[in-house]
Amino acid sequence: MPVVLDIVDLTKRFADFVAVDNVCFQAEEGKFFSILGPSGCGKTTLLRMIAGFLEPTSGSLQIRGKDMLGIPPNRRPVNLVFQNLALFPMMNVADNIGFGLKRQRCPKKEIASKTEAMLERVHLSGYGSKDISQLSGGQKQRVAIARALVLEPSILLLDEPLGALDLKLREQMKIELKNLQREVGTTFIYITHDQSEALVMSDTVAVMNAGRFEQIDTPRNLYSRPASSFVAGFVGETNIFAASVEDISPTLRLRAENGVLFKATAMQEMAGAKKGRLFIRPEAIILEPDSGLDNLNRFEVTVRTILFDGSNTKILAMLGDREITVALPQNQQFAHITPGETVSAGVHIDACKCYPGE
Amino acid sequence: MKFKLSSGLFIFLTPVLLWLFLLIVIPQIELLLMSLRGENNLGEPIWTFANYLHFFTEEIYWYTFVRTATYAIIVTVLTFIVTFPVAFYITKVVSKRLSVFLTILLLVPFWVSELVRVYGWMILLRESGVLNHIMLSLGLIDKPVEMLYNDISMIMGLVYTSMLFMVVPLISSLEGMDDSLIEAAHDLGASKWTIFTRIVIPYAAPGITSGSIVVFMLALGNYLTPNLMGGKNSLWFTEQIYNQFIASFNWNQGAAFGFLLLLLSSLIIWVGLKMSKQQLGRVLS
Ligand SMILES: Nc1ncnc2c1ncn2[C@@H]1O[C@H](COP(=O)(O)OP(=O)(O)OP(=O)(O)O)[C@@H](O)[C@H]1O
Ligand SMILES: [Mg+2]
């Protein structure tokens, strides 16, 4: 796959505050690339540099092999879907979508046909003559995306476009957006602080923290092999323990804050580290494990609450003085468990991931 | 929405309604009646349209009105051209705190009366004024020039006195505009000029229209500035009305002129609204 966007050592400094710090990445043609990070980590700043609204302090930025530094936003082959959509309130839907085409001096007929085709693509056929104020949140969302996509940009940049929608609509738009991207084949660079959005939609996710990229990987790898303690804690639900290192070889053994001893897998070099952080996914904890299983950390937990949510049911249980989350298997095997009960539990060494640090 | 006029509300509104009625409606009716009165050949009072016809038959009145209206339109356009960049700068370019400070700075001169401000200009511009003094001492001219009492200084004075009424609606409509609209247009390929004509102006249109209406009406009905800065030949329509009332004691003619001013200026505004495809209701809201 050819590379569309090539970013090397991009840095943005505001006075003495570094908002984007030496970021390097490449996005391939036709891929859904997400940048995931907590609020204020520099996502919007990075995106605005790609769009051309901000000049980087240093580093290089190429689109399809062409250097983009110094080129104004209206002459870059990228379009941005704004965090607050920024639809033009004084124009109707069709004029909003046709705005960019008009700037390219496209003939009227072509504008009309392209606009209509785009409206159909985002399931808004017949909405062309409506005013922006007459649309629902989800419809506005689609108009904003259509307005940018109709220009057939090399890259479509999206800045938390689903942020303003309610949960239900967000779930629906997630799938719609993914399908749309596959249909049009445009490279999407999608910014979000919602890890489920990033995991569901993306081909590749970059996890960003405090201006730096911590890991660039597929959603599956991100979830199963987080490269850093931050990624392990940020992506997906997880139980986190502060622990002190008891032993490093032959196996890594840690004493968690609640006094429980764990055998664990080191995800980064642990030599010399006294403290570590231990991550255990809720679904990695097995209830009533078979006594024949090897390499298991075994302990007893006391059930406190059952959070019933269909196939996604979890229990909150006490392990020592710490509350942990355990995901139940979907086969109703543990439907009999009631709060207050004490159950044996176990977790495989491979699923106990340890990183050095406080 | 429907609501009943409760007795409480009625009591509350009574002084306002009374005030409106006594001070605005009754004098207007009185003036209207007056404008329709005249004398026949025998000197007996009769009802007549003669006062109105007079306006159309005497070239000077007609000419004065056209001149006044044209200049009022020019003043409105100039005021817009002068104040728009200021309003844009205050709302979109500088930081929030500086913008509040600049807005206040802009309003301060308007705390003093129009008369004082116009005299300020006169002190600057007159033959023995500050500007002449400076140019003389710099050797740029060798005898003082009269910069007052011509159409240009009159228009400048009118623009100056009208600025406030344009800049306030402009600021308030531009303030409501999200900066990302400008960025979105830029991102979609629009040049600076296109952003200005296609995004900023249409967005500010209600503010521009309401500002323009007020400035136009005030310029048209201004008496002080044209008289003081335009001098004897300013030929402003309000002077004709004044002359009828005060100089010729022809109250009937003066009242008719007053009504003609009201009707014709309303007509001009109506045409303006139609041409710019604005609706009065939307502009006022
Ligand atoms: N013009 C600026 N001047 C100074 N600091 C800025 C400026 N713009 C952004 N910052 C800082 O840079 C950091 C990153 O901002 P950015 O808007 O990129 O965050 P974000 O990751 O998009 O957050 P969110 O998810 O809340 O939108 C923030 O700490 C912000 O305060
Ligand atoms: Mg942001």
Residue B2 has pLDDT above 50, yes or no: no
Residue B28 has pLDDT above 60, yes or no: yes
Residues 6+ apart with CB under 8 A from A258: A241, A319, A320, A321, A322
Closest to B180 in 3D by CA, of A135, A92, A82: A82
- A14 φ, ψ to 5°? -105, 110
pLDDT grade, residue B4 (50/70/90)?
low
Per-residue model confidence (pLDDT) at position A222: 93
- Place domain A3-231 in its CATH homologous superfamily: P-loop containing nucleotide triphosphate hydrolases (3.40.50.300)
Check for a shared fold between A3-231 and A237-356: no
Parse chain B into domains and list their residue ranges: 50-284
Which chain A residues have a beta carbon less than 8 Å from that of B185?
Answer: 88, 99
Name B91's bridge partners: none
Q: What is the mean pLDDT of residues A180-192?
A: 93
Parse chain A into domains and list their residue ranges: 3-231, 237-356
ipTM above 0.85, yes or no: no
Tell me the C-alpha distance between B83 and B170, whole Å: 8
pLDDT grade, residue B281 (50/70/90)?
low
A4-50 pLDDT tens trace: 999 999 999 999 999 999 999 999 999 999 999 999 999 999 999 99
CATH architecture assigned to A237-356:
Beta Barrel (2.40)
Taking the CB of residue A227, how many other CB atoms lie within 10 A of it? 17
| Burial tier of B102 (Cβ tally within 10 Å: 0-12, 13-18, 19+) | middle
The CA A16 to ligand 1 mean position distance, Å, reads: 13
Residue nearest to atom 9 of ligand 1 (CA): A45
Taking the CB of residue A167, how many other CB atoms lie within 10 A of it? 8
Cα separations in angstroms, A66 against A3, A5, A71, A76, A148:
11, 9, 10, 10, 21
Per-residue model confidence (pLDDT) at position B40: 80
What percent of chain A has a predicted confidence (pLDDT) above 90? 74
- Average pLDDT, whole number, for chain B? 87
Q: What angle do CA B274, B280, B282 make, to 5 degrees?
A: 115
Per-residue model confidence (pLDDT) at position B1: 43
Topology of domain B50-284 in CATH is MetI-like fold (1.10.3720)
B190/A72 CB distance under 8 A: no
B188/A79 CB distance under 8 A: yes
Residue A279 has pLDDT above 80, yes or no: yes
A79/B180 CB distance under 8 A: no
Cα separations in angstroms, B181 against A143, B188, B257:
14, 11, 47
Tell me the C-alpha distance between A167 and A223, whole Å: 23
Which among B186, B198, B202 has the least Cβ separation from residue A74?
A: B186
The CA A294 to ligand 1 mean position distance, Å, reads: 48
Which mutation among A10, A11, A13, A14 tests ligand 1's pocket best, with the greatest number of atoms within 8 A of CB? Answer: A14
For chain A, the residue count is 358
- A161 touching B (Cβ < 8 Å): no
Residue nearest to atom 4 of ligand 1 (CA): A14
User: Kind of pairing, strands A32-36 and A204-209?
Assistant: parallel
Q: What is the DSSP string of A17-33?
A: EEEEEEEEEEEETT-EE
